[in-house]
């Protein structure tokens, strides 16, 4: 019963480095999303996808890219890391959008950019 | 932009006490969800309410959706140490996903 799997769990980057946060789900969910969680700011939506081949921007997309080549995978790419991207990143999936079905979250990636 | 405001931001009470946390907005939401998050883990759904005035009970937790679908409350009766966590409300209705409040950090002291 894997659900949503995120890797890595922890990562330290230097300013300017790039990396990809991996997210995979085994529930055949069409909707997937990436959030960042910062103290005092709550969860903010970065990018989302309503199905394979379809992605769109959320509230805070700058500095991040996504792609959705399969239903299962939704990687998040940091192109040139900045200290402002230090955060905890959560991937989530659900059967549908709109808030009627549960969002299933991974356990997060804690990213530090120095 | 739809905003959800949660209050209080922090709450620390003794085991056995009752408490209520609030989730308010000036916007109407088609649904309202409550999640609980423990340290080092992702949020986990507690309940979804979709009808104005709806009340749902989950053991000692009672959730209410306001008549106008702009606000919600979570009441915990006889709090236990296992209730400690971050409680997040989230409003639905947009195609992009949920709008989350900033959360209420709840600590139940033995």
Q: Nearest Cβ partner of A99 from B40, B98, B103? A: B98
A39's CB contacts (< 8 A; 6+ apart) are: none
- For residue B100, what pLDDT is reported? 93
Give me chain B's average pLDDT, please. Answer: 93
- For residue B98, what pLDDT is reported? 86
Q: Which residues of chain A have pLDDT under 50?
A: none
Q: For residue B29, which residues of chain A lie inside 8 Å, CB to CB?
A: 99
A41 DSSP assignment: T
Please check whether residue A97 is in contact with residue A106, taking contact to mean a CB–CB distance below 8 angstroms. Answer: no
Instruction: Please judge whether B103 and A42 are an interchain contact, meaning their C-beta atoms are less than 8 angstroms apart.
Output: yes
Cis peptide upstream of residue A8 (ω within 30 degrees of 0): yes
Smallest CA–CA distance from A10 into chain B, residue:
B40
- For residue B95, what pLDDT is reported? 66
- For residue A97, what pLDDT is reported? 75
CA distances from A74 to A104, B4, B44, B109 (A): 14, 27, 20, 40
Q: Which residues of chain B have pLDDT under 50?
A: none
Please check whether residue B9 is in contact with residue B106, taking contact to mean a CB–CB distance below 8 angstroms. Answer: no
How many Å separate Cα B73 from the centre of its chain?
6
Q: How many residues does chain A have?
A: 114
- For residue A1, what pLDDT is reported? 67
Least Cα separation, residue B23 to chain A (angstroms): 13
Please check whether residue B82 is in contact with residue B61, taking contact to mean a CB–CB distance below 8 angstroms. Answer: no
Six token digits for residue B55? 């009340």
- For residue B1, what pLDDT is reported? 61
Six token digits for residue A14? 């230097």
């Amino acid at each position: 019963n894997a659900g949503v799997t995120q890797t890595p769990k922890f990562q330290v980057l230097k300013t300017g480095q790039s990396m990809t946060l991996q997210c995979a789900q085994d529930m055949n969910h069409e909707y997937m999303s990436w959030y960042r969680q910062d103290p005092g700011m709550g969860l903010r939506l970065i990018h989302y996808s309503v199905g394979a081949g379809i992605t769109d921007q959320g509230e805070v997309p700058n500095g991040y890219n996504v792609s959705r080549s399969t239903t299962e995978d939704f990687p998040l790419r940091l192109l040139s890391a900045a200290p402002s991207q230090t955060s905890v990143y959560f991937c989530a999936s659900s059967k549908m959008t709109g808030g009627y079905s549960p969002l299933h979250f991974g356990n997060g990636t804690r990213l530090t950019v120095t | 932009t739809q905003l959800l405001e949660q209050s209080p931001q922090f709450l620390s009470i003794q085991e056995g006490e009752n408490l209520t946390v609030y989730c308010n907005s000036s916007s109407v939401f088609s649904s309202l969800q409550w999640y609980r998050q423990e340290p080092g883990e992702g949020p986990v759904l507690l309940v979804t309410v979709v009808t104005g005035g709806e009340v749902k009970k989950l053991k000692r937790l009672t959730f209410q959706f306001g008549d106008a679908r702009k606000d919600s409350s979570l009441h915990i009766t006889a709090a236990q140490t296992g209730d400690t966590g971050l409680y997040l409300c989230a409003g639905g209705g947009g195609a992009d996903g949920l709008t989350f409040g900033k959360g209420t950090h709840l600590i139940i002291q033995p």
